[in-house]
Structure 1
Amino acid sequence: MESNSWLAKYGSLVAGKRTRWITIFAWILLAAVLSMTLPQVGSKEINNAPNLKDDLPSVQAAAIIKEQFPSESGLPALIVWHRDSGLTAEDLAAVQGLAQQLTDSPVEGQSSTVPLHQMPVDALRAQVSEDGTTLIQPMFFDESADAEVMESSLEQIKTLGDEAAGAKPFEAETDGGELSARITGPAGIAVDASALFSGADVSLLIATVVIVLVILLAIYRSPILALIPLVGVAFAYAVTSPLLGWMAGEGWITVDSQGISIMTVLLFGAGTDYCLFLISHFRTELTRHENKLTALIHAIKDATGAVAMSGFTVVLSLLALLLAEYGAYHRFAVPFSLSIFIMGIASITLVPALLSVFGRASFFPFIPRTPEMKRERAIRKGKPVPKETPQRGFGQAIGGLVTRKPWTVTIVSVVILGALAGFAPAINYNYDILSSFPKTMDSREGNDLIGEAFSPGSLAPVTVVVDTEGKDVNLASVFEADDKIASVSGKPESGATEPNLQSYSITLAMNPYSLDAMSYIPELQARAENELKASGIAEPRVWVGGQTAEQHDTKTVGDQDRNLIIPVVTVLIALLLLVYLRSFVAMLYLIATVLLSYGAALGLGWIIIHYLMGADGIQGSIPLYAFVFLVALGEDYNIFMISSIWQKRKTMPLRQAIREGVADTGGVITSAGLILAATFAVLATLPIQVLVQFGIITAIGVLLDTFVVRPFLVPAITVLLGKTAFWPGRVYEPAASGKAERVTRAYRG
């Protein structure tokens, strides 16, 4: 206890014979008081919070459209009526009946509806698709309406539609021959997205708890020890949830269900990892010390620094998301980082206190004992005294391999990871939210019907607003001549208070959520500006609004955030490693190996998602999320292993330190990696493709870190570099006797 004696004092403070009860009581009191006085985070979720700032083109366009063209503003819901054999007169009468109901008695949040009931039947039939099977009935919600209001209103619309049709078209199969109806469009999509995430919360929590518990039982074969990390995570969540709820209630942060779902996974995965590192040290020390408190204090001394450093690394990396301009990225920063911060505190306070209470019984029925205790127990029971034989496990074998053949291990590891990373540039990215939905979701089925019977652009028309400056300008013919535009509806509408403003509603000849459609937005704006210039307007003003324009701005802002945050996170982690290890060289190769692992995770993830699962692309937000998680969490494992090597280097030759460091940390890091990968893999069981893809890629990255980077690549590189790995920090040269005599010098190459 001579070195780092302050950690020994700290261990006695949080896990001493009397103080352990104070620690446990403090956590119980804190969790109880916060839960009783502050709202839970789930009650403060806002699932329709804006992701784009007011100064972005699509947002400015939406504001102008709402002010000057109120009939075109609002969030559209498209009711898609369909009959395979063709819509009948009775079907059209049902549509008109629903239109009259929505006109006479608007549902909550409704801003307007198209008065189809005022059309003659022949005019209404002209709105039916050319094959006679499908009709789109638009209505609009106020943009301020939240998902809960729209969900309730859409359910009411379904009831009214059933009454008008005298059947249940919203439950009928779309290919069953009878009249069917589905609600899609931006409002329908928003409601379905909210329902998917809200339904996922409970199932995700249950699945995560079960899988962590099963893995812990398999690893330690002790019911008590399997529960201790879960208790720590539960208390961390019990403190985090009301704090986040309070912050959201004060308006300091915004939280949504997607963020809380991922936060839950992160808390269980990373939190359990931190607990395991302490537990592993405790079990080792129990084989050396008869007194459980002495063993625990030694374990706290050995593990606390690495746990604190790892947690701090993850917290800072996640806080970097505050730099994001895109709302969804920005909203994740505080919940993710706060949950890890509180979990880190719990893992070095509450968990040690619980281990102090249970002592060796934590590991029942496989209780670790010192050799002397084993002999005494054998004599007491009249059994043969067990012989102490050195343990030669898988970790020792790997440690021996990397020290004997470092070049081979390094080359093979780099080739494997590099080959996988080579697939990353081939990844196709998409921003089509519908591709994340199950094929049986109402909004996706409705979208498919529109795509088959009409132009898929009917799902979300683009609105172009121009300032004519009083000149005689009509851009309809210009737009209609573009083969990327399916139709331009009617004559341009003039602004309510500014008659020089004209609005054109454009239906694209492509999926409005596709990359092609998004990349067309600047081209569409340029086409309008050029036509205005040709009409004598020197400085044309054009605004392009609608879902496609918003998606274009989303991609632009997301790309900017990724290009900023990835370097920032890399630099932050590099600085932390430099401070902790005091080695510039070690910092460089630790960062490089994790970046290589990240690229390999993207590449292998793309192979699975595209070639095996058949997806055309992955969600555009995944690379940034995966980077922040994988680089921060991947460095966790490097920190734990390299800390062991650095510590052992003080008393033994470097190759022996590497061999024993790999062996000592192998089991616990493998266990932690399996748990973390499994918790992220739980996301892949949800019916939401964006979470499925994120879960697959993140789990792959964790497994690559666990089974390739940490046991093979990093220690092999350390062997090859030798003393250079410590540059310019201290190099410890053990005395020839092998005792802890230390000679310290600066190594300069």
Structure 2
Amino acid sequence: MAQDGWLRKYGELVAGKRTRWITIFIWVFTAAILSMTLPQVGQKEINNAPNLESTEPSVVASQVIEEQFPSSSGLPALLVWHNESGITPDDLAHVKELSLQLSDNPLEGQTEPVPYHQLPDAALMDQVSKDGTTFIQPIFFLESTDTETLDSNLEKIKETVAAAVGHNPFEEATDSTKLSARVTGPAGIAVDATALFSGADVSLLIATVIIVLVILLLIYRSPILAFIPLVGVGFAYGITSPLLGWMAGEGWITVDSQGISIMTVLLFGAGTDYCLFLISHFRQELARHENKMTALMNAVKDATGAVAMSGFTVVLALLALLLAKYGAYHRFAVPFSLSIFIMGIASLTLVPAILSVIGRASFYPFIPRTLEMKQQRAAAKGKPLPNQTAKGGFGLAIGNLVIRKPIAVTVISVIVLGVLAGFVPQVKYNYDILSSFPKTMESREGYDIIAKSFSSGSLAPVTVVVDTEGKETGIANYLKSLEQVALLSEPTAGVKNTDLQSYSITLSMNPYSLEAMSFIPELESKVAAYLSETSGISSPKVWIGGQTAEQHDTKVVGDRDRNVIIPVVIVLISLVLLIYLRSIVAMLYLIGTVLLSYGAALGLGWIILHYFMGVEGIQGSIPLYAFVFLVALGEDYNIFMVSSIWQKRKRMPLLQAIKEGVSETGGVITSAGLILAATFAVLATLPIQVLVQFGLITALGVLLDTFVVRPFLVPAITVLLGRKAFWPGRVYEPAEPSIQRSN
């Protein structure tokens, strides 16, 4: 056929006896040049990039606060002084000393400090917690201060405090009768979050490489073969990293440490899968052809279409994240899609070239040979001649089961997945940043002290700004009357518009909780209604700023992104399947099975996280992340298997094609699924709950696709639909053999 001839010529172009060296040289030269001339992506990370657009209410409020109330604006670091036996005048002397130091020698990006050094001890003692153990000293920095500068500033503060106190209070246990100190608040949380992800990069990379290598060795028992996919992934990363670094340096994209960490896992997991699909075809062909080049060209011909379409599917799904308004989602699109795109090219060019060079030795010591080659080796050693025996093993057994009992297999698979998906409505979500941190993290410890000694709302006060239009409003008394308000500051007048009044509210609840977030729009509407009804202000202007308001906007924008991106991903993948398979029916049930698998993964993940690990709610970003990855990667496996069935049904009856397709792809898809699931599971070993939850749910989804959807559900549905599965595409189908079905 024309297509087969074109693909064979392509194979000769990238992996021929001469051209293979050109292919390898191009990859080595390109990776070397890019690495020497362009910065690596890790050098261009920006971990405090804004996630919300300038038009979001909390961002508008922040701009008003910064312009009109500069003394109360900025990013606060809360220095929590704590003495279990009670704060003493000597302890407060250290507070004054630090305040004087920050006033005389302000840090980079620091705004006007609170002048504690000018206050008498009695005034400071009034600000100590009711139990007498804790004092909070806020230190404000400009909102635009980058995390690296914040980290440096906090280290300088700690050095100053340790030198003054005589011991390091930041290393002192929080239940000690000696003075201890912790830095928390938005600035402390930002620094700790960056440190968590930065520390995770190297350990994640090492763990991912080791897990992939171990699984490959256990499955294929060939040290050479185990390293071939890793070489392909390594070169893909070697090109992706400087390209992303260059794009970030030019300001075209923004990258952060969290995105790069997940990109690394995706690259190793999905990249290894693509390589294995080609390698498995090569091994099958080596058992049929004595000439390794003939075998390789056949493998390239058979595998290229499926690998290319699988990679294209994932790239499209990840590019859909460009539609996101939330910065963290949007920033993932280019790194993820570019890494998969380059990995797809590597698996179809570099890996074939390497296999062409190494040949059969790639599988040493279990080298695949044709029957004639085995007989020749046996004769030379004086051993009995081997006969061609039927193979298939467990995969063949599954294929037989599927074509003989398709109804039972379909019903059982749907019930299992449906029951798990039934838990999805029970899933609870949270947007509490601190819940992702280990309990021993400094900002988490500082928050726990505040929550114990003060109101937990002290961690991130809410700022309410109202335009009084010069009228006496009595808004302060109204705000104090709200049950969600634990503490209200004295009003501050705007420096440019004195009609503007600012109030700092300490909530009576965790400022990062869903309850606090839902209070933000309620607070805005109540204040506006109060001003309208009691002060005669026709169009009240109310701005609400602070971390809680930002988290509320984050949830609103995140919900919007999920409602937009999920349908777009479904449409894009449906179009790819429709173009590749030329079947509306097949496209519909392949999409349907992956969606069912996604729901089952989310439900099973919730069961494990909630009922066995005690998690009260999963991070609100998890459903969208998991959906994009699981639907795209799940269709990868469907494409791998269905493409095999589609090819075989052109020369054999459909039932036979399904049986052989399931049998032949079973091993490679199972091993690929195990590797991909294991790489995502590596995320669950990190001390960051959002990655633990994402890694667990994604790994579960991959396993469900690998062991339920791909081997059982999809082929069983194909058996039940028969010729209709190809509608409206052309059906190539010889007469069916007499295979008896039973249910």
Q: TM-score range by the shorter chain?
A: over 0.9
Which residue of the partner structure matches residue 66 of structure 1?
66
Report how far residue 735 of structure 1 moved.
5.7
**SS of equivalent residue, structure 2 residue 111:** strand
**SS of equivalent residue, structure 1 residue 544:** strand
**SS of equivalent residue, structure 1 residue 352:** helix
Which residue of the partner structure matches residue 522 of structure 2?
523
Q: Give the 5 Å matches for 1:274-673.
A: 274-490=274-490, 492-534=491-533, 535-673=535-673
Count of aligned residue pairs for this structure pair: 737
Quick check: 1:95–1:164 contact (8 Å CA) kept in 2? no
Report how far residue 488 of structure 1 moved.
0.5
Counterpart code for 1:172:
E
Moved more, 247-256 or 94-103: 94-103
Report how far residue 176 of structure 1 moved.
2.4
Asked if 1:221 is matched to 2:224, the reply is no
**SS of equivalent residue, structure 2 residue 366:** coil
Structure 2 CA distance for partners of 1:659 and 1:736, relative to 1, 3 Å: closer
Structure 2 CA distance for partners of 1:467 and 1:3, relative to 1, 3 Å: closer
Quick check: 1:83–1:178 contact (8 Å CA) kept in 2? yes
Report how far residue 538 of structure 1 moved.
0.4
Which residue of the partner structure matches residue 105 of structure 1?
105
TM-score, structure 2 as length reference: 0.98
CA offset digits 1:528-557 (Å, max 9, x no partner): 101210201101111000000000000000
Counterpart code for 1:179:
L
Quick check: 2:464–2:504 contact (8 Å CA) kept in 1? yes
Partners of 1:189 and 1:247 in 2: CA distance: 28
Report how far residue 630 of structure 1 moved.
0.2
Counterpart code for 1:393:
G
Partners of 2:291 and 2:504 in 1: CA distance: 78
Structure 2 CA distance for partners of 1:736 and 1:270, relative to 1, 3 Å: closer
Quick check: 2:184–2:443 contact (8 Å CA) kept in 1? yes
CA offset digits 1:496-538 (Å, max 9, x no partner): 1111111111110000000000000001101110121020110
Counterpart code for 2:252:
W
**SS of equivalent residue, structure 1 residue 608:** helix
Partners of 1:53 and 1:259 in 2: CA distance: 19
Which residue of the partner structure matches residue 198 of structure 1?
198
Partners of 1:674 and 1:735 in 2: CA distance: 37
Counterpart code for 1:187:
A
Partners of 1:241 and 1:453 in 2: CA distance: 47
Which residue of the partner structure matches residue 744 of structure 1?
none
Quick check: 2:654–2:736 contact (8 Å CA) kept in 1? no
Which residue of the partner structure matches residue 210 of structure 2?
210
Partners of 1:388 and 1:277 in 2: CA distance: 24
Structure 2 CA distance for partners of 1:737 and 1:115, relative to 1, 3 Å: closer
Partners of 2:525 and 2:346 in 1: CA distance: 56
Partners of 1:267 and 1:329 in 2: CA distance: 18
Quick check: 2:438–2:687 contact (8 Å CA) kept in 1? yes
Which residue of the partner structure matches residue 143 of structure 1?
143
TM-score, structure 1 as length reference: 0.97
Counterpart code for 1:322:
L
CA offset digits 1:632-669 (Å, max 9, x no partner): 00000000101111111112111111111100000000
Quick check: 1:99–1:114 contact (8 Å CA) kept in 2? yes
Counterpart code for 1:655:
L
Structure 2 CA distance for partners of 1:52 and 1:2, relative to 1, 3 Å: closer
Quick check: 2:323–2:565 contact (8 Å CA) kept in 1? yes
Which residue of the partner structure matches residue 741 of structure 2?
none
Quick check: 1:96–1:116 contact (8 Å CA) kept in 2? yes
**SS of equivalent residue, structure 1 residue 466:** strand
Partners of 2:176 and 2:387 in 1: CA distance: 75
Quick check: 2:182–2:442 contact (8 Å CA) kept in 1? yes
Partners of 2:130 and 2:328 in 1: CA distance: 40
Quick check: 2:392–2:664 contact (8 Å CA) kept in 1? no
Report how far residue 3 of structure 1 moved.
5.4
Partners of 2:612 and 2:587 in 1: CA distance: 36
Partners of 1:457 and 1:3 in 2: CA distance: 66
Report how far residue 71 of structure 1 moved.
0.6
Counterpart code for 2:493:
S
Partners of 1:540 and 1:119 in 2: CA distance: 37
Which residue of the partner structure matches residue 746 of structure 1?
none
| Structure 1 unaligned spans of 5+ | 739-749
Moved more, 588-597 or 470-479: 470-479
Which residue of the partner structure matches residue 187 of structure 2?
187
Report how far residue 93 of structure 1 moved.
1.4
Report how far residue 443 of structure 1 moved.
0.2
Counterpart code for 1:431:
Y
Report how far residue 178 of structure 1 moved.
1.8
Report how far residue 471 of structure 1 moved.
1.3
Partners of 1:446 and 1:159 in 2: CA distance: 18
Counterpart code for 1:434:
L
Partners of 2:413 and 2:87 in 1: CA distance: 62
Counterpart code for 2:463:
T
CA offset digits 1:334-375 (Å, max 9, x no partner): 000000000000000000000000000000010000000000
Report how far residue 90 of structure 1 moved.
1.3
Counterpart code for 1:432:
D
**SS of equivalent residue, structure 2 residue 509:** coil
